[in-house]
Chains A and B, each alone.
Chain A
Amino acid sequence: MLELRGVNAGYGTFQALFDVDLDVRAGEAVGVIGPNGAGKTTLMRVISGLIRPSRGSIRMEAVDVVATPPHKIVSLGIAHVPENRRLFPQLSVDDNLKMGAFMKEARGHYPERLDVVFDLFPRLKERRHQMAGTMSGGEQQMCAIGRALMSNPKLLLLDEPSAGLAPVVVQQVFELVKRIRASGLTVLIVEQNVQQVLRVVDRAYLIEAGTIRSSGTSAEMLASDTVKEAYLGV
């Protein structure tokens, strides 16, 4: 479904990604793990078009993502839940979700998608008129995921969904990811919480200093010595 080949990307003169190859197949959940500053967020941003790669190719179902204007990439079926959620704090939950359905293809299905999202997150329905910025971290994460689902995506990019949340809420978020997976959505998830994420995904990539160090199934990654030593503290 998604295919990255030889992707280089960065900010100004700083290069954050070096020659990254990555594949996500339809129906899969794939994790990207690695330390702070390894380039995980940059990887997400380059896929959703927030930054452009300096070299390499990105294809979504054979469509060239790099040649697509950033605001049209969501129409290819890629929805990005950014790091730190990035809700519109002074807009109501309803308006935040509305923004998720902004693109022309999604507007017609707005009421149905709203039902789907409210089914998944009944909490958001209770809070629909509340300012998004006044909700708890967990509720904001629900709203951010809900906003991404409003566009009826094929591929959901989740950037550190557990960051800054209380341990109990982190559990809930990973439960949610499982449910979203079960609904048939393809998921690419970036996480520092390695143990948790490897329980949810089928495969994972380990990224360090902007380079893919290793990849494999969740079981292989859990068994790998590098991952064990560096990230699981075993």
Chain B
Amino acid sequence: MQAFLDIFDIYLLEAVINGILLGGVLALLALGLNLIFGVIDVTWICYAELVMIGMYAMYFLVQYYGISYFLAAPLTILLVALLGAALHYLVIAPLLTAPPINQLLATGGVLFVLQSFATVAFGIDFRNLGIRLPVLAFGDMNFSYARLLSFLAALVGMVAVYLFMTRTFTGTAIRAISQDRQIMALMGVDTKRIYLITSAIGGGLAGLAACLLVLQYDVHPFVGLSFGPITFLICVLGGLGNFIGGFIAAFVFAEIISLGGLFSDLEWGYVLAFAFFIVMMFVRPAGLLARRR
């Protein structure tokens, strides 16, 4: 009995730590979506598809052009940042004053366009970088090196965004704009430009997430479906537009998935997480931390 408990504890600890590592990347995804929603008041339904395009970019840069991973990553981040800015300029900006349902439908349309584009252009094969990172053994626990790297990179990305938002004039304007859009011109702020910069940052975060996810998952045109919905649930659970709420919710979700996976299959972890979300929507419909306004 005692021996059983010892093993159980070590597996539990491993699952908890793996949950934290997963939470980092989920928090990064949620931050990008929350940023767009909080600042521009628009939901990018196609957010995970931007990540998918980024993963393909990584695949082609690394596998096809033979560029090293660490050189390909900044190129991919830049590419998806430009994609985010283009999405805003071409799709969102003309619809800024349109009813929210039209904006949802438009970005939903972009989702299908990107999926179909990827299917036609790249086919439905599962592709990967061909990089196999070692597994780190720590005592009796095993951690994937890829997850550890992703966690750290996600953390660095989030800290960078935090510093940008709090230390720079542009970052301060991004935080201010959601509180009073009309008077931004009195501050000498061109709101169109701030929206474009915000969209580029949101895209850049999706690009960073793509660089990290491509280490752990194969790329295919529908890969967005495997983390798009969960990113939305995290944002809603944390309170849409609430950065801190989204951060906490990402780790809550990651732990449920990881611990649920410990007690049965990984799929059951997802079932538990989604069931938890549904229950929470009844208990706290405005999110874990209701948005302070």
Contacts and interface: CB of A to CB of B under 8 A. Distances in A.
Contacts of A49: 185
A184 B236 CA distance: 52
A89 B176 CA distance: 9
Nearest to A95: B172
Interface in B163-200: 169, 172-173, 175-176, 179-180, 182-191
A59 interface: no
Contacts of B169: 98, 101-102, 107
B292 interface: yes
Interface in B97-136: none
Interface string A52-86: 00000000000000000111111100011010001
Given A91-B172, A98-B172, A50 B189 contact: no
Contacts of B293: 90
Nearest to B184: A71
Residue with the greatest number of chain B CB neighbours at <10 A, chosen from A49, A72, A98 = A98
Contacts of B176: 88, 91, 95, 99
Contacts of A147: 187
Contacts of B180: 86, 88
A11 to B, nearest CB: 13
A72 B176 CA distance: 18
A82 B175 CA distance: 20
Contacts of A41: none
B175 A151 contact: no
A208 to B, nearest CB: 26
B194 to A, nearest CB: 10
By secondary structure, the B interface counts as: helix
A71 B190 contact: yes
Interface in A181-198: none
B187 A99 contact: yes
A48 interface: yes
A95 B175 contact: yes
Given A99-B172, A102-B169, A82 B183 contact: yes
Interface residues on A, range: 20 to 34
Interface string A130-172: 0000000000000000010001000000000000000000000
Contacts of B179: 88-91
A210 interface: no
A49 B211 CA distance: 44
A151 B176 CA distance: 17
A74 B186 contact: yes
Interface string A198-221: 000000000000000000000000
B270 to A, nearest CB: 35
A82 B188 contact: no
A72 B185 CA distance: 8
Given A95-B176, A98-B169, A151 B188 contact: yes
A100 interface: yes
A103 interface: yes
Interface in A87-121: 88-91, 95, 98-103, 106-107
A185 to B, nearest CB: 17
B188 A50 contact: no
A133 B176 CA distance: 13
Contact of A102 (B175, B182, B189, B292): B189
A79 B169 CA distance: 18
A108 to B, nearest CB: 11
B177 to A, nearest CB: 9
Nearest to A94: B172
A42 to B, nearest CB: 14
Contacts of B183: 50, 82, 86
Nearest to B177: A88
B186 A103 contact: no
Q: Which 8 A-B pairs have the closest CB atoms?
A: A103-B188, A70-B185, A74-B188, A88-B179, A71-B190, A88-B176, A71-B185, A99-B187
8 contacts: A69-B190, A71-B185, A74-B185, A74-B188, A88-B175, A99-B172, A99-B173, A99-B187
Given A98-B169, A151-B188, 17 more contacts: A48-B185, A71-B184, A71-B185, A71-B187, A72-B188, A74-B188, A75-B188, A86-B180, A88-B175, A88-B179, A90-B179, A91-B175, A91-B176, A98-B172, A99-B172, A101-B169, A103-B188
Interface of A: 48-50, 69-75, 79-80, 82, 86, 88-91, 95, 98-103, 106-107, 147, 151
